[in-house]
């Protein structure tokens, strides 16, 4: 297997040093941030280490520094030739979501619902984390349907090819989803929030036909 993608900081796949998380924070912000703010948002390294990275990036022109009162505020120089690459790397989750959504939209047997959940959706995890997918098939598609299983297998391989991380697919029918709700299965909480939609009807909408009591217990309006 090739390089794994850090699900908390995908940019670190290409920029494994502290520069990666720092640039990810700057790429996601439209305003100037102090060194301490960047350190807090990056969630790694030390304040001193982050400031050293910022100073070095400033010498390259990729980061601009504004002296505001007693604070130095840093922001990504979006006019820099490298900035588009940084912005792309900082938004790898969206790129992954888009690629998978495009693949699923071309399926001959479309799912009722498809989404990413777990670490990839929460933006946490690490290099050892799986990419978790939820697939809800139409009730009329039997378990073991060759075409359906082939589609799901190719989707799992796409995840591996795109990220290097193993894919874990939780697949069930629409009726089986209702059964999970009836049993108050804890995994429903993972499927409901947060998640990254890929295709079809949102899970809360699929649960609308269930009883209000069950929906209320899971926070579904």
Cα–Cα distance measured from residue 110 to residue 97, given in angstroms and rounded to the nearest whole number: 17
Helices (H) and strands (E) in the chain, counts: 11, 6
Instruction: Check whether residue 35 and residue 74 sit in a common domain.
Output: yes
Same domain as 18, residue 74: yes
- 37-47 pLDDT, tens digit each: 999 999 889 99
Whether residues 65 and 106 fall in one domain: no
Residues 135 and 202 in one domain: yes
- Is residue 131 included in any domain, yes or no? yes
Q: Based on the domain organization, do 152 and 189 belong to the same domain?
A: yes
User: Residue 101 belongs to a domain with what CATH number?
Assistant: 3.30.460
Report field, pTM of the whole predicted structure over 0.85: no
The parent domain of residue 14 ranges over 10-89
> Cβ distance 138 to 112 under 8 Å?
yes
Both 75 and 151 in a single domain?
no
At 90-135, the pLDDT tens digits run 888 899 999 999 999 999 999 999 999 988 888 887 777 889 999 9
Do 199 and 101 sit in the same domain of this protein? yes
pLDDT (tens digit per residue) in 171-198: 999 888 887 776 666 677 777 777 899 9
Does residue 209 register a pLDDT over 60? Answer: no
Q: Tell me whether residue 2 is in a domain.
A: no
């Amino acid at each position: 297997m090739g390089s794994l993608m850090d699900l908390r900081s995908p940019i670190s796949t290409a920029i494994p040093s502290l520069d990666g998380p720092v640039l990810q924070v700057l790429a996601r912000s439209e305003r100037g941030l102090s060194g301490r703010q960047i350190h807090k948002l990056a969630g790694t390294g030390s304040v001193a280490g982050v400031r050293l990275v910022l100073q070095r990036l400033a010498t390259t022109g990729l980061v601009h520094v504004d002296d505001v009162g007693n604070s130095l505020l840093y922001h990504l120089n979006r006019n820099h030739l490298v900035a588009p690459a940084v912005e792309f790397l900082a938004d790898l989750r969206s790129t992954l979501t888009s690629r998978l959504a495009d693949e699923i939209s071309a399926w001959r047997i479309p799912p009722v619902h498809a989404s990413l959940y777990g670490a990839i959706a929460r933006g946490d995890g690490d290099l050892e984390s799986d990419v978790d997918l939820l697939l809800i098939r139409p009730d009329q598609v039997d378990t073991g349907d060759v075409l359906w299983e082939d589609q799901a297998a190719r989707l799992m391989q796409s995840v591996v090819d795109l990220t290097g991380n193993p894919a874990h697919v939780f697949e069930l029918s629409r009726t089986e989803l209702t059964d999970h709700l009836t049993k108050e299965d804890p995994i429903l909480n993972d499927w409901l929030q947060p998640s990254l939609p890929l295709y079809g009807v949102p899970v809360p909408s699929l649960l609308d036909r269930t009883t209000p009591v069950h929906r209320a217990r899971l926070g579904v309006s």
